[in-house]
């Protein structure tokens, strides 16, 4: 748990339609190689029963650049026997040199989602 709290990037996925954390959702973190203009996958994970995912980032702070957090929301809803308007959700964000820690939650239903930069 301590490792998760000190991770430079944390997320929290909430199924606000059912009022529960979104457990067992696959997600992945990618970084843009700005010279080749391709995305490199840095890590994959699955949310725990609290909708959180420890260990997305190993080592220290994330270096400046463009990142993408991809949530396999379509598969998640399918595993609950439901359809969703969105096959997946990708949140692309920019990290600049000064910033240290990022909390990127995803609040979602089958037909909506929102995200914000939290703490």
| Site residues (vs other proteins, CB under 8 A) | 66, 74, 83-94, 111-117
The answer on whether 116 is annotated among ligand-binding residues is yes
Which residue lies nearer to other proteins by CB, 58 or 98? 98
Minimum Å gap between C-beta 66 and other proteins is 6
Minimum Å gap between C-beta 74 and other proteins is 8
Minimum Å gap between C-beta 52 and other proteins is 19
How many CA atoms lie less than 13 Å away from 32 in the CB half-sphere?
14
The answer on whether 24 is annotated among ligand-binding residues is no
Contact indicator for 42, 57 with CB cutoff of 8 Å? yes
Which residue lies nearer to other proteins by CB, 53 or 89? 89
Q: What residues are paired with 45 via a beta bridge?
A: 27
Which residue lies nearer to other proteins by CB, 49 or 83? 83
CA–CA gap between residue 44 and residue 115 (Å, rounded): 19
Coil, strand or helix at 12: strand
The answer on whether 110 is annotated among ligand-binding residues is no
Q: What is the 3-state secondary structure (H, E, C) of 51-71?
A: CECCCCCCCCCCCCEEEEEEE
Provide the annotated binding site for substrate: 12, 52, 116
């Amino acid at each position: 748990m301590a490792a998760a709290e000190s991770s430079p990037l944390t997320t929290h996925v909430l199924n606000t339609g059912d009022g529960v954390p979104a457990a067992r959702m696959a997600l992945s973190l990618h970084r843009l190689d700005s010279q080749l203009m391709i995305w490199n996958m840095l890590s994959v994970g699955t949310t725990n029963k609290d909708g959180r995912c420890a260990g997305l980032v190993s080592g220290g702070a994330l270096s400046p650049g463009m990142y993408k957090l991809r949530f396999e929301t379509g598969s998640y809803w399918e595993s609950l026997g439901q359809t969703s308007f969105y096959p997946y959700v990708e949140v692309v964000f920019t990290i600049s040199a000064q910033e240290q820690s990022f909390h990127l939650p995803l609040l979602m239903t089958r037909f909506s989602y929102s995200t914000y930069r939290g703490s």
